[in-house]
Amino acid sequence: MLEENYPKSTVSDEVEIKLLIKLVHFNRRLKLLLIFIRAAILFYIIYSGLSFYDWESFAQAATGYIQGVTFAFYFSASLFLINFTLTFFNKKWLWISVIIDATIILFIDRLVTLFIITNSEVRLLFTIVLFGVFFGLIIFVFTLIASKKKGKFYLAPIVTFLTSLGVTAYGFIKIRGFEGMAYGFLGAGIFSIAVLGTIMLPFIISKINDKQLNKRDKGILVISPLILFATIGLVLYTDENYWVIGEGLTPYDNQEKNQPLDSYYRVSTISEGKKQVHISLGEKYIGKEVEVENVKTIGNTEITVKMIDGDESNKIPYIQVGVDQIVEPLKVQTTEGDVIHSQLEKLPN
């Protein structure tokens, strides 16, 4: 009788709730794991296709390779993942997995053709737009979370739109030319996120119940600017600031020369004020080929070229290098330390 008058313990209920929470978290992690495995396999397949083939010349062979490897490798992996999904998840996730895997296996060649563009200039512009989408997404998410506390979620698409407008205006007013057009494509990518964010904003707001910043929100506010500036820094660091306009070999007959042919360079102006440095090597480098080793643009401009063995024993190499600008004094040299002088210095007075 006394035991019936005391309240029953809720320890077992609390344990069940904790187990349920752990099961939910475990379920989410399994879903992320399955998505990651699929993404990793596809990345390896596409990356190997990009590495083994020259897409400018063998795009069809590369897509055929990717399709074959996908069927042989991804298909077997997808069977295991679908069985895993059937065991741990509901029918909704099972059908989603089947549809996605079937689409990838049957249409991987067409999907790759859509995203891997063979024309170099179009591919460059497409890459710039993707960078704009990436930057716009970071700006939108950062502003959305930063405005969460005061509930001014409308600032996220507005700030993203103003950023795209500023980037585009900077390109067309300050930079101009082809490079200014690149800023326009970058702004277009950011603008697409502003439009998409405006459309999705009511749905996003309806999912936000707590206006206080949690640990995840604070982490995003710290990490997203770091990712943004690190990406910009990486792009600036890896930008070579030069391009090879042309290269080749010219015949040389030392019996027709009255004096030794020395190496020289000459500078000319090309489109939009950019400079071309034509480097012609002398008889010392007969049978060699030339390639650009490095172009230093911090401080004075220095161009370093490297000599490699060639197949033509009676020809001398030349190369034409384009740079955005030249900061004097310009220095042209080989990797062995031989300084190449300007053609103007070699002209007789």
Using a pLDDT cut of 90, give the percent of the chain over it: 13
Band of residue 6 on the pLDDT scale cut at 50, 70, 90? very low
More confident residue, 346 or 273: 273
Q: Contact 66/53 with Cβ under 8 angstroms?
A: no
List all residues 6 or more positions away from 140 whose beta carbon is below 8 Å from its beta carbon: 156, 157, 159, 160, 193, 194, 197
Band of residue 253 on the pLDDT scale cut at 50, 70, 90? low
pLDDT at 255: 45
- The answer on pLDDT for 120 being more than 70 is no
pLDDT at 2: 46
Distance CA 319, CA 291 (A): 7
Average pLDDT of span 286-291: 86
- The answer on pLDDT for 134 being more than 60 is yes
Q: What are 35's two structure tokens?
A: 């998505």
CA proximity to 101, closest of 38, 24, 172, 193: 38
Q: What are 99's two structure tokens?
A: 């549809």
> Within 13 Å of residue 99, how many CA atoms lie on the same side as its CB?
6
Classified as helix, coil or strand, 204 is helix
User: Is the peptide bond preceding residue 329 cis, with omega within 30 degrees of 0?
Assistant: yes
Radius of gyration of the chain (CA): 30
245-267 residues labelled b (16+ CB within 10 A) or e (exposed): eeeebeebeeeeeeeebebbbee
Average pLDDT of span 272-277: 81
Q: Give start and end residues of each alpha helix (H) in the chain.
A: 2-5, 11-52, 59-69, 75-88, 91-115, 120-146, 155-169, 177-207, 215-238, 343-346
- The answer on pLDDT for 158 being more than 90 is yes
Distance CA 71, CA 246 (A): 41
User: Model's pTM, two decimal places?
Assistant: 0.55
| Mean pLDDT, all residues of the chain | 79
Q: Contact 256/284 with Cβ under 8 angstroms?
A: no
Q: Is 190 exposed, middle or buried (0-12, 13-18, 19+ CB in 10 A)?
A: buried
pLDDT at 76: 87
Classified as helix, coil or strand, 211 is coil
pLDDT at 23: 56
CA proximity to 116, closest of 73, 70, 68, 54: 54
- The answer on pLDDT for 162 being more than 90 is yes
Distance CA 8, CA 331 (A): 88
More confident residue, 346 or 128: 128
Classified as helix, coil or strand, 308 is strand
Q: Contact 343/265 with Cβ under 8 angstroms?
A: yes
62-87 residues labelled b (16+ CB within 10 A) or e (exposed): bbebbbebbeeebeeebeebeeebee
Q: Which amino acid is at 9?
A: S
CA proximity to 168, closest of 183, 189, 190, 182: 183
